[in-house]
Structure 1
Amino acid sequence: MFRHVPGLFYAPRRTWTHIHDDIERRPWAFLPLLLIGSLIPALSTWYGGTNVGWELFGSEDRRFLTSQSGALLGVAVWLAFVTNAVIMGYIVRWVLFRTPHRPPASHGIAFATFLSMPFMLGGLAALYPERWLLLPVFGLVGLFSVVQLYFGLPHFMRLAQDKAYFYGACIIGAGMLAMVSVGVFYMESWRAVSPPGEYQDVEERQLDPGLIP
């Protein structure tokens, strides 16, 4: 399944058809792509939060995460991507319940996994967590994911192009709600289990040799 990822950028129609054919033969072959691809934003978040740091709104003080807190945040990000793909897969199946070729759960999750690939690759921006970089990157990957949705529905789900616009709008609406809900859940879970004093500023890092990368 990894070989299909570049094709999403230069030949989406043909690539979605090939993805459909592969999923028909091996319904769960996308799992390594989901589990490994989700590591990209997770590891990037861990590195950026613990080694590069960021500036809070209204302050010029650079803040860092401790190693333990950064690792927990990375795990939360990984779980969020995996959970969101599973939920989105069932949302796709639910939205398409009246279509002639209603997808099984495996097809829905596979479809959601490939739609998540722009966000996974865009997660590399978390290596340098600055607002001027993160905001445009995630805006671009969100737009690209929407474009892939409208390419993928007719070719992967065997829908007429005119039907794809309606179903695509339904999937986008439900998907945004699911994505925000999953993100908030794992962020609050991270805050609940993260140890006290998870933030450090530059001076505290210099005084604590255990935080020096």
Structure 2
Amino acid sequence: MNAPLIKLFTQPRQAWREIREREEQVPRQYLPHLVWLALIPVICLYIGTTQVGWSLAEGERVWLSNKSALQLCALLYVAMLIGTLIMGGFIRWMSRSFEARPTLNQCIGFATYTTTPFFMAGLAGLYPSRWLAILALGLAGLYSTLLLFVGISTFMRLPEGKAPLYAAAVWAVGLLVLVTILVSAILLWYNALMPEYVRDVEG
């Protein structure tokens, strides 16, 4: 799975063809792939928030306590897994209207590969910064959209004319699921678990 994963960022059309060909030759389980990919932002965020920290004011550095960082990362990890699985379920449900008959496993795989840029954007968590996070997530959103529209016809074996409408429906539902799941996880962490901060004032 590593070669197609790299090609998603260099030759997306070719990557989708290879992913589909491998799927037809040897059906794959995509859940383990999702489990490993989702660890990238979690590990990076934990390191960034506990070891690097961020600055809210000149001369002041802020970190999360190990306990709070673990809680945040655990919530985000579960949210990413649940969100991708839900997205896979919606993709399969909507496929009935577009003459596609993918399995649930295939739909989870498609959702995982399509959202790979978001997992890779988690590398920005190594250096917590509002503007870096916005830039990374913005670029990830654009590239995920490209992967969705480029790959849905190939992966789902759809007639070209039906692919754009199916992709648009998946994009709309995906955006709703992403925002709902992640915002709910962060609000739960902030309001119920009460984050603990470590502050250091220089000078």
Question: Do the structures match in fold with TM over 0.5?
Answer: yes
C-alpha RMSD over aligned residues: 1.9
Which residue matches 2:86? 87
1:43 has 2:43 as partner? yes
- Contact preservation (8 Å) 2:50, 2:66: yes
Query: How much has 1:11 moved relative to structure 2?
Result: 1.9
Q: Following the alignment from structure 1 to structure 2, what is the Cα–Cα distance between the partners of residues 170 and 38?
A: 24
Aligned residue runs from structure 1 range 154-193, under 5 A: 154-191=153-190
- Contact preservation (8 Å) 2:30, 2:106: no
- Contact preservation (8 Å) 2:41, 2:119: yes
Which residue matches 1:31? 31
Aligned residue runs from structure 1 range 61-140, under 5 A: 61-140=60-139
Q: Following the alignment from structure 1 to structure 2, what is the Cα–Cα distance between the partners of residues 98 and 133?
A: 39
Q: Following the alignment from structure 1 to structure 2, what is the Cα–Cα distance between the partners of residues 22 and 197?
A: 44
Query: How much has 1:193 moved relative to structure 2?
Result: 5.5
Q: Following the alignment from structure 1 to structure 2, what is the Cα–Cα distance between the partners of residues 126 and 115?
A: 20
Q: Following the alignment from structure 2 to structure 1, what is the Cα–Cα distance between the partners of residues 143 and 112?
A: 14
Which residue matches 1:3? 3
- Contact preservation (8 Å) 2:68, 2:195: no
Q: Percent identity at matched positions?
A: 35
1:202 has 2:200 as partner? yes
Query: How much has 1:5 moved relative to structure 2?
Result: 0.5
Query: How much has 1:25 moved relative to structure 2?
Result: 4.5
| Normalised TM-score (structure 2) | 0.90
* Structure 1 gap ranges (5+): 207-213
Query: How much has 1:44 moved relative to structure 2?
Result: 0.8
- Contact preservation (8 Å) 1:46, 1:71: yes
